[in-house]
Chain A
């Protein structure tokens, strides 16, 4: 099994995966996660990534939320309607593991919300138990060095994720940076389906030193936050059909100056 193509819906795969031979036997989880988002952008990529998490990891629902500024905070993608409800609860109640993981910049693992010791969230905990959710794992999503959101994984049963699943969850949070960037682009220049989009290539380009350096220059030039500066750099690359690395080099060499708003 080499991941799946566009013609096989993730739900179908789910049936294979619950059998005794999990699909992850041969292919590393992170490769399958990457395959799930390839050719997709924005909300669709976020949804597919969440669906893939449910298929590949021992969890029941997954959601991606953005906790960047008040204007754009909320659930970006989910494995389905229940996941969206679980995730939105913490925005309604103003507390929960996702908000906690972004604030503290670390993964937050809740083994059992029903455990009396687990009284961190007096409103969120009982509300989730009402939805029959016992375990929650929140992994921060980092864009341009800023902790902008989290990947939230929900389990009906108590217990911690096994090491491999946790490694997979952290990989998924890393990949989630790409759809999150799509959605931070206010003009949605990139947030349309793009059959050529390749999450791996994109992640590679965006973590290069010159892209970070150019992001820093844009922060100074445009008086914006780093994540916003990276969104601008990337949007310029899209509109001009160039790579983020080339655009970054031009900014660094002062051959290119992006306009402010």
Chain B
């Protein structure tokens, strides 16, 4: 991977994401892939995408990791940290070194440092003047997000906007229902992770992997698989059996 110039890797990522947009796609899966591409392309260790809900709260919709500690940190970003500022202003925020900001963000900074992060950045996701959410980026070493990195982050979040809004011009009416629907999808995916944890005795992290792999292998949407698991009692036993088989194969 490191042999390929970054420009090529960035373009490959853009082509890959745009390709999936042209096809039928699942919003949680696509945005999860987008955070993963960001982590690969930028000098960062973790990324989480937060969307604003109808009450202007930031809520996590996708992340590079399902690890409980990192999820907690991603969720904490909704209350304090650069993502909150970025969401309020619509401008990118880059914190090269988090330590001096501890007084400003007394809960966020220790949590980020405890998870091994030294720098943190937020890139706005915006369309026609409306800020839809932010992409939070965590670096293992200190340092600003440089111009080129920022551009890559912005390009990918811009694609995320297109994915969410599809062909609708952004107005409160066209923006809020898809954001609400994306956040609802995430809720159902989280439920399905817990459901599989109970049924298969796996971690929630592994449950997410299983759901994603199953969806991909069967050409289904991640959210649809999760929803079937949670609300369709008839197809549930077969689905659980298939996921159990998949889990066996991964041990």
Contacts and interface: CB of A to CB of B under 8 A. Distances in A.
Interface string A78-108: 0000000000000000000000000001110
A213 B133 CA distance: 23
Contacts, number: 107
A212 B191 contact: yes
A217 B71 contact: no
B75 A209 contact: yes
A217 B177 CA distance: 28
Interface stretch (A61-69, A166-174, A185-193): A166-174
Contacts of B227: 145
Interface in A199-231: 200, 203-204, 207-210, 212-221, 225-226
A142 B54 contact: no
Contacts of A215: 190-191, 194
A218 B192 CA distance: 11
B187 A212 contact: yes
Contacts of A146: 231
Interface string B196-234: 111100001000000000000000000000010011000
Interface residues of B, number: 36
A204 B198 CA distance: 25
A164 interface: yes
B171 A163 contact: yes
Interface string A35-50: 0000000000000000
Interface in B166-200: 171-173, 176-177, 180-181, 183-184, 186-188, 190-199
Given A145-B230, A210-B68, 20 more contacts: A30-B56, A34-B55, A145-B184, A145-B191, A146-B231, A163-B171, A164-B172, A166-B173, A167-B172, A174-B180, A203-B57, A207-B57, A207-B59, A209-B190, A212-B191, A213-B197, A216-B194, A216-B230, A226-B231, A252-B204
Interface of A: 28, 30, 34, 105-107, 142, 144-146, 163-164, 166-167, 170-171, 173-175, 200, 203-204, 207-210, 212-221, 225-226, 252
